[in-house]
Structure 1
Amino acid sequence: MKRTGLLLLSLLLATPLASAADEGASDGRTWHRLVGILQYLQADYPAAVASKSDFELSEQRSFIAEANDAARDMGPRGEGFLSRLRDIKARVDKGEDPEGVSRDCAELVEDLVLSGGLARSPRNPPDLVRGEQIYQQACATCHGADGRAQVTIAQTMEPKPANFHDADIMAGLTPYKAFNTVSFGVTGTAMPGFPTLSEEERWAVSFYVFTLRQPACEGTPPRASLEKLANSTDPMLVEAHGQENLACLRRKMPNVDEERGLLVARDHVEQALKLGANGDWLAARNALLDAYLNGVEPVEPPLRARNPDLVLKLEKAFLDTRLAAEQKSPHLQDEGRILLSVLDEARRGSGSTAGALSVMWITLFILIREGFEASIIVAALLAMLRKMQAPAYVRVVHVGWVSALVVGAIAFAFGRHLLGGANRELLEGFAGLAAVGMLLYAALWLNARSNMSKFMGELREKMQGALGRGSMAGLFFIAFSSVLRESVETAIFLQGLALDSATGTAWGCAAGVVAIAALVIFVNRVGYKLPMKTLFKASTVLLVATAVILLGKALHALQEVALVPLKPIPFVTIDLLGIYPDAMSLGPQVVLTAIPLIMLIIKRRGGSTRLADASSQG
């Protein structure tokens, strides 16, 4: 029978698995060993049942027995998997349900990876040159120099060494499966484990065997993450990228700049879990903060541009894990392993590249989403000032929002250097709070001018009235602060998208500018025709609502750099509206929302009282 999982490096270098490994007798090795056994069962058990070979079925029974032993070796953390393993063992012992066993093994592998926080890919691009050296020194004896296993010693083995040119064998093999085989060997076969090889060497030879049947690479491979390459079979890569790109994907390791940040985060999280296990809670909390600021934050813009839901999931996992460390919770390990799995999920998509058309639509959506609130505010201010025939103040508003765009352009040019790590979150947080203050000022300013007859008299006094020099500065900062946060954030998003397609980003920007300009013109024209009192009321409501949204986003950003504490509560997350399930952001938003409502109720009651007094006097 053709064996998907076997990777017989060499009988000449056979070393017992019990010998000291470079990773030590770590808990992680036991988890990986169990995963490797289940991967064999997943791939080989259906074929063993179909063969009706007593030898093959006996081998599968030894695998599932070993899997049960491995789970028991894991102690309390493995107990939750024993019932599922016993259920699989019962079917394997009877030689029944091949499809169900294969499916259940695959599901159990995913659950083990999540529960154990296992890394299923190398931390750096494998050195294929080194992999070839190891293969020729250790593997060619059994597998042949070309990987076809057409050597004399191979004919004496049962099962025979894998032929790495065989399409059926390679269809079920991934570099991660090969890595586990190299690490632990296969019980009951001639395949030994090779713990004396370093982790990087094992990954190198595991990736190298996939190049043996590939022609020379001509051209540049499409972008793909190490996480994806390590966990994809050849047919999976062909389906995703085309047969013409398979050779380059296997022969040229990717540039992992974006993925490296997530790997940095992963290292810090693993360090935090070790510190927490040793009772050093403060150091664990600081390691988690470093993981986010130095690992995730630098690569967040392209990740958010491609998959904003995944970024929200990542942020939540970080905050939950950090909260567990701050509260010295025994759940830190569980939260941390969930965080590791989400980081690996982000890694799988980190190397993906969107086409020009996709990038254009994503860019357009981002511009409209980020620019909507700011453009509405600016348009409302312009419409109001034109209605009041105050052209000097119109120019001030234009100078304000244009200045914010200039800052955004600077962020686009130098964002990666100036706005990395905590700097970006601090800018978003403090700029958001400043915008909240200016928007509330604008709301009060508009509300104070709801009496039109009085206000028009003030306008006649020009610079002597309420619209003096201070008001000009206020209008400037309202326009500037309303656009600044979105301008900088959009610039950083576009930076990430431009890596996928500069052309698509450019066309998306052009379309977005046109859409936003049309929106501003529409609101400006409509606002000019609205009754002044209606315009004032609508603008006041809009400014307060925007202030509430920005307050939530600003406090959330400051929580991510630990300047504001975490106080989670059961509630929903609506990122677009700045609503997060945390008392430290939601509470101030509720207060800010309630204040104008209370003032309105008091004002109406006061008006009703005065009207009643006037009626009684009449």
Structure 2
Amino acid sequence: MLATLVALVFCGAARAETSDVETTWRLLDYIAVDYAGAVSHGSVLSPSEYAEQNEFAATVAAKIAALPPKPERQALAMEAARLQGAIADKSDAEQVAAIAHGLAAALLATYPVPLAPNKVPDFARGATLFGQNCAACHGDAGDGHGPDAVKLDTPPIAFTDAERARQRSVFALYQVITQGLDGTAMPSFDSLPTDDRWALALYASHFAFHDAAAAEGERLWKQDASLHRLVPDLKTLVGTTPAALASKIGQDKADALMAYLRRHPETVTQQQTGSLSLVRGRLTASLAAYRAGDRQHAGELALSAYLDGFEPVEPALGARNRALLERIEGAMGDYRAAIQSGENADALADRVQVLDDLFDDAEASLSPMRQAASQRFSERQRSCCAKDWKRC
């Protein structure tokens, strides 16, 4: 009985902590996006909104101070105080947004909460849910002009507002859908299943970016493989704002890419479960550089093979074959160490061949069509077939 009570208390405390972290993160996101509507060039545009910004910043500081003790909490508290000071000084919106976004990221790094869906959100399901739960206020087109909008004291958010949408991630929308928005008619939809809330957030996020932009985003995604490294997985897709992506590739490209990927989130998981051609290519180039006497470049390519080629598929492979994932990680680490130690080039080539065989197994595990067949073969049978097909 005592153990049960302790477990219940622990679980309750964990849920309370998660809720406080989520609320704090949501307040920081709100400040980062909406402060510009309260202050401009040192002047208060809206006294009520400015008062709200100060209130939210104070709440952030209080909630951080109340979180369970960790070595990083003091640094978080100092940043929260800096945010309060910046708002009190009527600092530029860019500075306040930078502090708020930085603090939000540090908060989640210190007190992790779930940041991504467990599976690909269903965009069509999101459209159905939006019609059932959101269109009455936000409008079928997401423009904030639903039939019930005129009845509300606080106008519903227009998801079609591109400037606001560029500052907001899908994760931020998911948080608002989950917890509601205090002081407004926006209720919590915590009663919806988690998958439905993610689908709804993804659908709501697409309104600001038109179909033409999505078509351009599809073209860019298919023609420029370097873009895949910028959005390698669902966690990145739902956590990245178009504004953050724009700092790397420009706003037009960022808008187009987000327009496409938010409509087709399955795209980022398809690249995870595809071939490992990138990692194979980098290892081949690494071995060639090593044979040419350029050990430094060989090491850089080996590291890139892991970071750019293999790491993006780790979550998917780990879910299907954890033992194989660990074997590949170990073998790639040994390969990098062998480069540093100056191992014989032929021995290094043998390591690449072993990895190439492991990658075959990984692709079989990751491929939905081949997974069932691959599970019927044991490692011993694979080894047998590799040596003598007639014996299998």
Which TM-score tier does this pair reach, normalised by the shorter chain?
0.5 to 0.7
Residue in 2 aligned with 1:486? 352
Residue in 1 aligned with 2:96? 101
| 1:156 CA displacement | 4.2
| 1:74 CA displacement | 1.4
Kindly report which structure 2 residues correspond to 1:554-565, keeping only aligned pairs within 5 A, or say none.
Answer: none
Residue in 1 aligned with 2:159? 164
1:155 maps to amino acid: V
Which residue, 287, 300, 321 being the options, matches 1:367? Answer: 287
| 1:41 CA displacement | 0.9
Contact 1:22 1:198 in 2 (8 A): no
Q: Which secondary structure does the structure 2 equivalent of 1:125 belong to?
A: coil
Alpha-carbon distance between aligned partners in 2 of 1:369 and 1:129, rounded to the nearest angstrom: 48
Kindly report which structure 2 residues correspond to 1:215-254, keeping only aligned pairs within 5 A, or say none.
Answer: 215=211, 222=222, 223=228, 224=231, 225-234=233-242, 239=249, 241=253, 245-253=257-265, 254=267
Residue in 2 aligned with 1:421? 325
| 1:170 CA displacement | 1.6
Alpha-carbon distance between aligned partners in 2 of 1:480 and 1:98, rounded to the nearest angstrom: 58
Residue in 2 aligned with 1:54? 47
Contact 1:42 1:101 in 2 (8 A): yes
| 1:76 CA displacement | 1.8
Alpha-carbon distance between aligned partners in 2 of 1:250 and 1:48, rounded to the nearest angstrom: 30
Contact 2:234 2:268 in 1 (8 A): no
Residue in 1 aligned with 2:316? none
2:65 maps to amino acid: R
Alpha-carbon distance between aligned partners in 2 of 1:425 and 1:98, rounded to the nearest angstrom: 44
Kindly report which structure 2 residues correspond to 1:377-396, keeping only aligned pairs within 5 A, or say none.
Answer: none
1:489 maps to amino acid: L
Residue in 2 aligned with 1:38? 28
Alpha-carbon distance between aligned partners in 2 of 1:202 and 1:119, rounded to the nearest angstrom: 13
Alpha-carbon distance between aligned partners in 1 of 2:211 and 2:271, rounded to the nearest angstrom: 28
Kindly report which structure 2 residues correspond to 1:143-158, keeping only aligned pairs within 5 A, or say none.
Answer: 143-158=138-153
Contact 2:31 2:97 in 1 (8 A): yes
Alpha-carbon distance between aligned partners in 2 of 1:23 and 1:136, rounded to the nearest angstrom: 36
1:117 maps to amino acid: P
| 1:372 CA displacement | 5.7
Residue in 2 aligned with 1:407? none
Kindly report which structure 2 residues correspond to 1:505-520, keeping only aligned pairs within 5 A, or say none.
Answer: none
Residue in 2 aligned with 1:270? none
Contact 2:166 2:241 in 1 (8 A): yes
Kindly report which structure 2 residues correspond to 1:374-453, keeping only aligned pairs within 5 A, or say none.
Answer: 420-424=324-328
Q: Which secondary structure does the structure 1 equivalent of 2:148 belong to?
A: helix
1:367 maps to amino acid: L
| 1:168 CA displacement | 1.9
Alpha-carbon distance between aligned partners in 2 of 1:89 and 1:163, rounded to the nearest angstrom: 28
1:256 maps to amino acid: T
| 1:167 CA displacement | 1.8
Residue in 2 aligned with 1:191? 186
1:196–1:72: structure 2 CA closer, same or farther, 3 Å change rule? Answer: farther
| 1:24 CA displacement | 7.5
Contact 1:22 1:195 in 2 (8 A): no
Cα deviation code 1:133-162 (max 9, x no counterpart)? 221111011101121112343234344111
Alpha-carbon distance between aligned partners in 2 of 1:125 and 1:146, rounded to the nearest angstrom: 23
Contact 2:159 2:165 in 1 (8 A): yes
| 1:488 CA displacement | 2.6
| 1:166 CA displacement | 1.9
Cα deviation code 1:363-421 (max 9, x no counterpart)? 66323145568xxxxxxxxxxxxxxxxxxxxxxxxxxxxxxxxxxxxxxxxxx99x933
Asked if residue 128 in structure 1 is aligned to residue 123 in structure 2, the reply is: yes
| 1:164 CA displacement | 1.6
Alpha-carbon distance between aligned partners in 2 of 1:64 and 1:428, rounded to the nearest angstrom: 46
Which residue, 256, 281, 294 being the options, matches 2:269? Answer: 256
| 1:38 CA displacement | 0.8
| 1:428 CA displacement | 8.0
Asked if residue 200 in structure 1 is aligned to residue 208 in structure 2, the reply is: no
1:180 maps to amino acid: Q
| 1:130 CA displacement | 2.0
Q: Which secondary structure does the structure 2 equivalent of 1:149 belong to?
A: coil
The answer for unaligned runs of 5 or more in structure 1 is 1-20, 262-297, 306-358, 374-415, 433-438, 440-477, 498-618
Alpha-carbon distance between aligned partners in 2 of 1:372 and 1:232, rounded to the nearest angstrom: 40
Alpha-carbon distance between aligned partners in 2 of 1:22 and 1:199, rounded to the nearest angstrom: 19
1:206–1:365: structure 2 CA closer, same or farther, 3 Å change rule? Answer: same
Residue in 2 aligned with 1:284? none
2:130 maps to amino acid: Y
Contact 1:22 1:196 in 2 (8 A): no
1:365 maps to amino acid: A
How many residue pairs match? The answer is: 301
Alpha-carbon distance between aligned partners in 2 of 1:425 and 1:87, rounded to the nearest angstrom: 41
Cα deviation code 1:490-541 (max 9, x no counterpart)? 66679999xxxxxxxxxxxxxxxxxxxxxxxxxxxxxxxxxxxxxxxxxxxx
1:255–1:93: structure 2 CA closer, same or farther, 3 Å change rule? Answer: closer
Alpha-carbon distance between aligned partners in 1 of 2:160 and 2:167, rounded to the nearest angstrom: 13
| 1:182 CA displacement | 1.4
- When Rg is computed on C-alpha atoms for both structures, the one with the higher figure is 1
Which residue, 58, 61, 67 being the options, matches 1:68? Answer: 61
Contact 2:39 2:46 in 1 (8 A): yes
1:64 maps to amino acid: A
Alpha-carbon distance between aligned partners in 2 of 1:58 and 1:76, rounded to the nearest angstrom: 30
RCO (CA 8 Å, sep 6+): is it higher in 1 or 2?
1
Residue in 2 aligned with 1:137? 132
2:190 maps to amino acid: P
Residue in 1 aligned with 2:206? 211
1:23–1:197: structure 2 CA closer, same or farther, 3 Å change rule? Answer: farther
| 1:193 CA displacement | 2.8
Q: Which secondary structure does the structure 2 equivalent of 1:117 belong to?
A: coil
User: Percentage identity across aligned positions?
Assistant: 22
Q: Which secondary structure does the structure 2 equivalent of 1:65 belong to?
A: helix
| 1:93 CA displacement | 4.3
1:58–1:152: structure 2 CA closer, same or farther, 3 Å change rule? Answer: farther
Alpha-carbon distance between aligned partners in 2 of 1:58 and 1:429, rounded to the nearest angstrom: 54
Asked if residue 27 in structure 1 is aligned to residue 20 in structure 2, the reply is: no
1:101–1:490: structure 2 CA closer, same or farther, 3 Å change rule? Answer: same
TM-score (norm 2): 0.62
Alpha-carbon distance between aligned partners in 2 of 1:134 and 1:43, rounded to the nearest angstrom: 25
Alpha-carbon distance between aligned partners in 2 of 1:256 and 1:99, rounded to the nearest angstrom: 33
Asked if residue 86 in structure 1 is aligned to residue 81 in structure 2, the reply is: yes
